[in-house]
């Protein structure tokens, strides 16, 4: 009995200890559960929600680009895409084969799609085609039953209604590259595109807008179950340009397929109405994504369609530079407007002979007649007396040899040489013969078509330092409508007014005097006459042997050996409002090739101006008045 009693006591003690241990453990577990569910409940609820809720960034609508009259130049359009959801089809190849009966599906497309499927979850869609035509989309929808896993999706993509005609101004948008990443999460969105050239690039941040968000519930595998909250982004601002899109179309068409450029600007405000460069490219191709063959064709084209020649093409200005030389000579006082020199057709300097374009010579020339007839010998003489440094200083005052700051990428500054420049860069001294070449706008001098338009504007607007610009206004999305553009005031460049008057009269004579080099390209309509200056630039040196025998005409030479053709002009003569510069690479003579194009452009821009239309009506009334009086008298 005694032993049984001891065993009972031992068993009871162990049971109590074991029971107590269980109570202790259960109490600890209860305490921990209380702590997790009550004390830290909000924390773990938040963590659970973060695992359950996914926040997606939504791309905003890109801001439109409009011309001066509100006509769209860059917009967003519906982008219909064909998607494949792998988990919705048992046979990928079958679905693609069925789709291939409706739209082209290459073997490469099939292999690329299979490769993507292996790398992604099967419920995630794969883009098969973008920017689909509506007819193809309709055919796919009609045959949807026979296309397991194939679905249609609608998004937005950039669209340029005017295609190649506005590419030199707008540039294009394209996919984000590694070097474009700046920390903005928007740039990492699949398929997001940014401005890579032109206005699209310069105003990228304003046009881009602010992203939106979509809060969705997902399961453990990342599949979207439902959308909890949707917030649209803030669309980008609208860019209103100074460009007249209809005039831009006209100019681009007039330049045809030449390697050429043209700039039209308001001589008083600096607004650039047209900035054309040909041949061009279709920016829509970049929006949809260029193929390797398309890119190769553009990059290897000898006429450089991707190069905006209006701002980055650098050319010797030729005789269009003679007004600069004339003003420098007048300012220095080495000549007067009445100073005369006799042109025999050539000028000797040491052992060298400098020829005039007119082999027989022009005879006695003063400044007015020398500009009108573009006498080279006259300008050799006054350039020699003026010196290269004074000529260069005048060129810079007229806008050459510098970045003008127009809102486009790729602008180049050209080259206006001085003695110091040559010593520093070429490490040799300046030669007087180089001054003579500068006197007719050749040698080291390089300018851009935009600079030539600015030069012309400053010559005819009374000597105001007008600067070119493209953007009239950036209008935020919230704004109801654009306000009136700011009227800019420009300082004077300090040229004696009588000297400028002489230049304007001489340029008017170039186009309206029978002796003028551009007389055949004059505007005959009353009140619409133009003034200007032709330029023909040699791209190769003419040998002595060629001069002694016969110099080949431009039409008989290889294209790359033909002269560049230039023309700068303004209109109307009596009250200048518009300036134009035209450069045709290897186009031949400035009077025969560039001047007729400039004439058509200046006539068109005046016809498009409502105030000029009223002037035309008044001029017609004045012309008809004598005839009306005669009828009444009879």
Average pLDDT over residues 559-580: 94
Q: How many other C-beta atoms can be found within 10 angstroms of the C-beta atom of residue 618?
A: 12
**Of 184-193, 517-526, 618-627, highest mean pLDDT:** 517-526
Q: What is the pLDDT of residues 442-481, one digit of tens each?
A: 999 999 999 999 999 999 999 999 999 999 999 998 775 6
Which has the minimum average pLDDT: 72-76, 89-93, 285-289, 628-632? 628-632
Residue 36 has pLDDT above 70, yes or no: no
Please give the pLDDT value at position 55: 64
Please give the pLDDT value at position 188: 74
Tokens of 504: 């304007």
- The rounded Cα 578 to chain-centroid distance in angstroms is 21
Residue 544 has pLDDT above 80, yes or no: no
Question: DSSP string of 517-582?
Answer: TTGGG---STT---EEEEEEE-SSPPPHHHHHS-PPPGGGS-GGGSPEEEEEEEE-SSS--EEEEE
Residue 31 has pLDDT above 60, yes or no: yes
Alpha helices, DSSP H only, in 101-232?
A: 107-119, 134-142, 167-170, 198-202, 204-208
Please give the pLDDT value at position 627: 41
Residue 631 has pLDDT above 80, yes or no: no
Which residues is 263 bridged to in the sheet? 275, 581
At a CB cut-off of 8 Å and minimum separation 6, what does 79 contact? 130, 131, 154, 155, 156, 157
Confidence of residue 630 (pLDDT cuts 50, 70, 90): very low
CA 238 to CA 74: how far, in whole Å?
Answer: 10
CA 631 to CA 519: how far, in whole Å?
Answer: 34
Q: What is the pLDDT of residues 357-396, one digit of tens each?
A: 999 999 999 999 999 999 999 999 999 999 999 999 999 9
**Of 41-50, 91-100, 410-419, highest mean pLDDT:** 410-419
Q: Please tell me which residue, 161 or 175, carries the higher pLDDT value.
A: 161
Tokens of 551: 């110099």
Residue 626 has pLDDT above 60, yes or no: no
Please give the pLDDT value at position 393: 98
Residue 91 has pLDDT above 80, yes or no: yes
Q: Please tell me which residue, 224 or 364, carries the higher pLDDT value.
A: 364
Residue 555 has pLDDT above 80, yes or no: no
Q: pTM for this one? A: 0.81
Residue 48 has pLDDT above 60, yes or no: no
Which has the minimum average pLDDT: 20-29, 68-77, 330-339, 465-474? 20-29
- Residue tagged active-site, from 174, 261, 287, 319: 319
CA 454 to CA 382: how far, in whole Å?
Answer: 24
CA 261 to CA 450: how far, in whole Å?
Answer: 9
Share of the chain above pLDDT 70, in %: 84
Please give the pLDDT value at position 246: 97
Mean pLDDT, all residues of the chain:
86
Please give the pLDDT value at position 324: 98
Residue 524 has pLDDT above 60, yes or no: yes
| Residue 333 dihedral angles phi and psi, to the nearest 5° | 85, 15
Q: Please tell me which residue, 154 or 11, carries the higher pLDDT value.
A: 154
Residue 1 has pLDDT above 50, yes or no: yes
Average pLDDT over residues 557-578: 92
Please give the pLDDT value at position 422: 97
Please give the pLDDT value at position 632: 27
Residue 343 has pLDDT above 60, yes or no: yes
Average pLDDT over residues 214-219: 66
Please give the pLDDT value at position 494: 96
Average pLDDT over residues 568-580: 97
- Pair 375, 365: CB distance under 8 Å: yes
Query: How far is residue 110 from each of residues 84, 172, 505, measured CA to CA in Å?
Result: 11, 30, 70
Q: Please tell me which residue, 514 or 548, carries the higher pLDDT value.
A: 514
At a CB cut-off of 8 Å and minimum separation 6, what does 582 contact? 260, 261, 262, 449, 565, 566, 567, 568, 594, 595, 597, 598, 601
Q: Please tell me which residue, 82 or 21, carries the higher pLDDT value.
A: 82
| CATH 2.60.40.10 assigned to 56-241 | no
Tokens of 308: 């905006």
Please give the pLDDT value at position 87: 81
**Domain boundary assignment for the chain:** 56-241, 245-618
CA 303 to CA 616: how far, in whole Å?
Answer: 39
3-state secondary structure of 24: helix
Confidence of residue 628 (pLDDT cuts 50, 70, 90): very low
Please give the pLDDT value at position 138: 87
Please give the pLDDT value at position 625: 43
CA 51 to CA 64: how far, in whole Å?
Answer: 39
Which has the minimum average pLDDT: 264-273, 333-342, 533-542? 533-542
106 is catalytic: no
Residue 214 has pLDDT above 80, yes or no: no
- Pair 307, 313: CB distance under 8 Å: yes
Please give the pLDDT value at position 223: 53
Q: Looking at domain 245-618, what is its CATH homologous superfamily?
A: DD-peptidase/beta-lactamase superfamily (3.40.710.10)
Please give the pLDDT value at position 335: 96
Average pLDDT over residues 515-532: 97
Average pLDDT over residues 558-586: 94
Residue from 145, 149, 152 nearest 130 by CA: 152
Q: What is the pLDDT of residues 281-323, one digit of tens each?
A: 999 998 877 777 888 999 999 899 999 999 999 999 999 999 9
């Amino acid at each position: 009995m005694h032993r049984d009693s001891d065993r009972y006591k031992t068993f009871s003690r162990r049971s109590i200890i074991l029971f107590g241990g269980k109570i202790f453990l259960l109490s600890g577990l209860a305490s921990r559960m209380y702590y997790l569910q009550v004390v830290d409940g909000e924390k773990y609820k938040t963590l659970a929600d973060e695992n359950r809720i996914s926040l997606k960034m939504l791309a905003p609508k890109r801001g439109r680009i409009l011309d001066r009259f509100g006509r769209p130049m860059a917009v967003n359009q519906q982008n219909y895409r064909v998607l494949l959801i792998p988990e919705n089809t048992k046979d990928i190849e079958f679905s693609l084969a069925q789709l291939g009966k409706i739209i082209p599906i290459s073997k490469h497309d099939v292999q690329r799609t299979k490769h993507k499927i292996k790398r992604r979850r099967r419920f995630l869609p794969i883009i098969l085609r973008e920017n689909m035509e509506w007819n193809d989309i309709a055919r796919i929808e009609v045959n949807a039953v026979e296309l397991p896993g194939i679905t249609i999706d609608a998004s937005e993509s950039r669209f340029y209604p005017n295609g190649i005609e506005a590419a030199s101004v707008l540039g294009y948008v394209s996919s984000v590259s590694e070097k474009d990443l700046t920390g903005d999460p928007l740039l990492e969105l699949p398929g997001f595109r940014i401005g890579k050239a032109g206005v699209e690039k310069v105003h990228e941040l304003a046009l881009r807008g602010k992203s939106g968000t979509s809060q969705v519930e997902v399961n453990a595998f990342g599949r979207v179950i439902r959308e909890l909250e949707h917030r649209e982004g803030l669309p980008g601002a609208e860019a209103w340009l100074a460009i007249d899109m209809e005039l831009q179309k006209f100019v681009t068409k007039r330049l045809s397929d030449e390697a050429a450029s043209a700039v039209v600007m308001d001589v008083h405000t600096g607004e650039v109405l047209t900035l054309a460069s040909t041949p061009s490219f279709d920016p829509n191709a970049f929006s949809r994504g260029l193929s390797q063959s398309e890119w190769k064709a553009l990059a290897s084209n000898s006429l450089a369609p991707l190069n905006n020649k209006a701002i980055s093409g650098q050319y010797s200005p030729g005789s269009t530079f003679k007004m600069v030389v004339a003003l420098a000579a007048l300012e220095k006082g080495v000549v007067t407007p009445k100073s005369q020199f006799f042109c025999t057709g050539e000028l000797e300097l040491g052992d060298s002979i400098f020829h005039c374009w007119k082999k027989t010579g022009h005879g006695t020339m003063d400044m007015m007649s020398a500009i009108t007839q573009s006498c080279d010998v006259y300008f050799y003489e006054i350039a020699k007396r003026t010196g290269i440094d004074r000529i260069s200083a005048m060129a810079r005052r007229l806008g050459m040899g510098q970045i003008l700051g127009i809102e486009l990428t790729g602008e180049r500054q050209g080259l206006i040489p001085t003695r110091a420049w040559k010593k520093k860069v070429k490490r040799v001294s300046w030669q007087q013969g180089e001054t003579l070449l500068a006197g007719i706008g050749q040698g080291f001098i390089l300018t851009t078509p935009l600079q030539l338009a600015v030069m012309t504007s400053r010559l005819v607007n009374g000597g105001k330092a007008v600067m070119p610009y493209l953007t009239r206004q950036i209008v935020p999305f919230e704004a109801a409508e654009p306000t009136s553009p700011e009227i800019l005031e420009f300082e004077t460049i300090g040229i004696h007014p009588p000297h400028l008057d002489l230049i304007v009269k001489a340029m008017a004579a170039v186009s309206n005097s029978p002796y003028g080099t551009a007389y055949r390209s004059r505007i005959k309509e009353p009140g619409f006459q133009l003034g200007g200056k032709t330029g023909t630039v040699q791209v190769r040196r003419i040998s002595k042997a060629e001069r002694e025998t016969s110099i080949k005409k431009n039409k008989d030479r290889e294209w790359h050996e033909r002269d560049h053709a230039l023309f700068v002009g303004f209109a109307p003569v009596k009250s200048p409002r518009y300036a134009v510069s035209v450069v045709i690479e290897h186009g031949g003579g400035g009077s025969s090739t560039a001047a007729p194009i400039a004439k058509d452009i200046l006539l068109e821009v005046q016809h498009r101006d409502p105030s000029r239309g009223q002037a035309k009506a008044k001029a017609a009334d004045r012309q008809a008045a004598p005839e009306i009086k005669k009828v009444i008298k009879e």
